[in-house]
Amino acid sequence: MAALYTGLKNGGELYTPAYRPYFDTVRENLKKRVVVGMSGGVDSSLAAALLQEQGFEVIGITLKLWPQNCSARAEDKCCGPQAVTDARAVCDKLGLPFYVADEVETFQHEVIHYFATEYQAGRTPNPCILCNEKIKFGVLLKRAKLLGAQFIATGHYARVEMHPASSRRLLKRGQDPVKDQSYFLFSLNQEQLAHTLFPLGHLTKEETRERARQLGLKTAEKKESMEICFVPDNNYGKFLIDVAGITPHKGEMVDTQGKVLGYHQGIEFFTIGQRKRLGISSPRPLYVLALDGERNRVVLGEEKELATHSFMVERCNWVALAEPPEEFEALVRIRYKHQGCRARIKVQGNGQAQVLPLEPQRAVTPGQACVFYQDDQVLGGGWIQKPASPEWPAIPL
């Protein structure tokens, strides 16, 4: 690319004003080193290719997250051996150096342990967010710095921009509303965002695949997974027993008055809003309203009782705001597939905030992330605590 740029600049016929912006970008990025986290999928593959086109010195790294003999490993997911093979093939095609970094112990401590303990506490975890914060934009950034790289990059559909006045890094939605992944990135700090590139932020998924086809990348047609990468067949219960070591333990299933309706084998196997596989018969549909970790109880009730008017979030991370106002209104998303709702946010001390949806929200789930948006910009977010529940005098939570 450097030779191409020099040749065109020194009299090549294509170096015209129309081409100048592209080649100026190439010249600006020459000798800037970037480490791309290679998951073995089409997104990270094209991210590496686009950065190479833009003049970066690109290095591919796949993080090995599972022991070689782990029988529960998902073979075809981003932490499996096929991912390493595919990522290496793409780097070979592009002529890029490629490395595999062993982060088994870090992943076990930061992600798997969190995943299991959250379920044990009666919360429903979001391991993808923790994996981004601690592994993909934590460990990977440290390794990139050891390699002398100024940036890391991934195939996430999101955008990072710098505020012209404050120089603060802003996190924005990806242009593709279907693939936007900004929700999973809300916990990244300014240091991480300042050294991160999202080459696919302005592309749609189909544009990504088409460009990968044009480049002849092996992963162009590779099917993507919508499940948690380390849980084979999306079987959470089996994973929690076989890998996380959770032993089934009998507990009560009660209604909001404390009446015992049946028994279960562990609150870890349930989530808020669940209706199926409750294991009890009832003349009316019942839903999981709450999980009581201290008493090992599952609270059941009617669908209308899932509505929440107020809830707290903790461990808030403010992306766009160094100091948020005491109260403001924003669009909030309480889970990845949630379309968002308007809410008032009252900022409190100790990294907490109260969220007051303008309309009641169904199945607000402790342990999930609540992310605040203003148009396409992530203001910040936090982790959902127990919602303010109705009057359940016999069920202190």
Helices (H), 95-203: 104-107, 113-120, 127-130, 140-146, 190-194
Concerning whether 370 is annotated as a catalytic residue, the answer is no
Query: How big is the CA angle at 213 (ends 211 and 218), to the nearest 5 degrees?
Result: 120
8 A C-beta contact, residue 132 and residue 149: no
Provide the b/e sequence for 256-273 (b: ≥16 CB within 10 Å): beeeebeebebbbbbbbb
8 A C-beta contact, residue 132 and residue 286: no
- Catalytic hit among 79, 91, 131, 316: 131
Concerning whether 229 is annotated as a catalytic residue, the answer is yes
8 A C-beta contact, residue 300 and residue 254: yes
The tokens for 196 are 């991160």
Between CA 293 and CA 205 the distance in angstroms is 40
- Catalytic hit among 78, 79, 229, 316: 229
Would you call 204 exposed, middle or buried from its count of C-beta atoms within 10 A (0-12, 13-18, 19+)?
Answer: middle
Helices (H), 131-197: 140-146, 190-194
The backbone torsions φ and ψ at residue 318, rounded to the nearest 5 degrees and listed phi first, read -100, 110
Neighbour order of strands in the sheet with 260-264: 260-264, 251-254, 297-301, 287-292
- The helix-helix angle for 81-94 and 42-53 (nearest 10°) equals 20
Sign of the four-CA dihedral 334, 336, 341, 343 = positive
Between CA 317 and CA 190 the distance in angstroms is 10
Long-range contacts of 25-31 (CB under 8 A, 24+ apart): 25/54, 25/55, 26/1, 26/54, 26/55, 27/55, 28/55, 29/54, 29/55, 29/56, 30/1, 30/2, 30/5, 30/55, 31/57
Catalytic positions are: 131, 229
